[in-house]
Amino acid sequence: MNREKFAWSLSILLIAILAFQIPGTLAQRDDDYHFVRTLLDIHRQVTINYVDPVDQQKLQQGAIDGMLGKLDPYTVYVPPANQEQFESMLEGSFRGVGIQLEQNAKGEVEVVTPIEDSPALRAGVQAGDIITRVNNQEVSNLRLPDVMKKIKGPDNSKVEITVRHPSGAVADLTMTRQEIVVPTVKGYRRGDDNAWNYWASEDPKIGYVRITQFTSDTYKKIKGVLDQLVGQGMRGFVLDLRFNPGGQLEQAEEVVNMFVKEGVIVRTKGRNRPEQIFRANGQGTLPDFPMVVLINEHSASAAEIVSGSLMDNHRAITVGNRSFGKGSVQEVMPLGDSEGELKITVAYYYLPSGRLVHRKPDSKDWGVDPQISVPMNTPEEEALLREQSDLDVLHGPISKTTTQQTTQPATAAATQPADPQFDAALEEVTKMVGNGGKFVKLNIATRPSTEPVISPAQAPQ
């Protein structure tokens, strides 16, 4: 066989081998070609023949939204204009002066609360202040988003805000913008100095922490709190994950690892993602004290991983009602220069028991089922949310030194509204303390659940 015939035969053989090895690739390219061609044909016809002029940017966004809308609520396109805001949500931080604002019934921009250890708090901004001017420009007739744009700005730049205090006094306050990390680790209630008190009971000493979201510093903050509580003789602990929409997976892993010495924390697996198993490493594990985790139908994602993993590893008792069922893993994929990002679901979370956390349309089992079921009705949940919001408010400026934890335990006297879930959790952990740490299931009469405060259309992400 001459060289030309040999080369030709070898080429045919290689093509045949490749055809058998990657049949899906060629088919996929063919499907992609037909899809794009159809889309381009439709776009051209609409652009030329539609009765009214069309906004090309809205047309593009509509096409993307229509395609992704056939998937799940968590797969979304993030255009370049929204990337900074989106990344701030993921990190739990933003750049500004640290003020939580709302537009009141009179149309005024009112301060709900300054954020802890923020430039606004240090400058003297108070809850209830009305913002009238920003950098000497009148803002009384502006919408809230427009006022927020004027207040925000690059790090280390200054902004002057004119406020009218609840007392009626007017003040010009100058502050320097910086990166603001939103606090996610909260206590049982605040002391007179605005510092969180993390004790739910004095006798026995029962600690309490509420995590509102898992952001980049959540583990560091809760570890500091728990180290101090353990050092002060804590005998039991309540972790409140109600209304927690989730957050960063690695933070959830770190929190579980703090309580569990060994074993599986969580598994992830997807169609095009190999199974990943995250295990406890036994480093920095806290003492084995009795523990209860509070969850409800608004606990999602990372909150479900923490509560479900602690339950499956027999480290904590869960109390409340079944969690939301958002057990999917999203990755953020850049789409090229100035084209935005795609946040896409690539895998699902599985608890150590093998249970799929995610609630699919035909699911019967999802999320985390508490071992002690204590449903709350809508008025009770609304009252609890109002109480939690009130606790977040800082009343007047406080110094850095007063943001440290109060060392004197508080009594369990209820300043909070009726909270049967917390009451059940405190009773259970108190019984475990008195029973050598063993689980003693309470005889609690359950009530039928009412419609949740957050509808499925407002699913946390």
Per residue in 224-255, pLDDT tens?
999 999 999 999 999 999 999 998 899 999 99
Range 93-181 classified under CATH 2.30.42.10: yes
Q: How far apart are the first and last CA of the chain?
A: 65
**CATH superfamily, region 185-458:** 2-enoyl-CoA Hydratase; Chain A, domain 1 (3.90.226.10)
For residues 11-30, b (16+ Cβ closer than 10 Å) or e, as one string? Answer: eeeeeeeeeeeeeeeeeeee
Arithmetic mean of pLDDT over the chain? 80
- How would residue 30 be classed by pLDDT, with cut points 50, 70 and 90? low
The pLDDT assigned to 126 comes to 85
- Read off the pTM: 0.73
The predicted structure's pLDDT at residue 453 = 31
pLDDT at 253: 96
Higher-confidence residue of 60 and 279: namely 279
Share of the chain above pLDDT 70, in %: 79
CB-based contact 253:246 (threshold 8 Å): no
Of the pLDDT bands very low, low, confident and very high (cuts 50, 70, 90), residue 53 is: confident
For the segment 422-437, the average pLDDT, to the nearest whole number, is: 90
* Per-residue pLDDT, 441: 54
Q: Which of 83-87, 151-155, 377-381 has the least mean pLDDT?
A: 83-87
Tens of pLDDT, residues 139-175? 988 888 888 889 988 888 999 999 999 889 999 999 9
**What are the extents of the domains in the chain?**
93-181, 185-458
The residues carrying an active-site annotation are 301, 312, 326
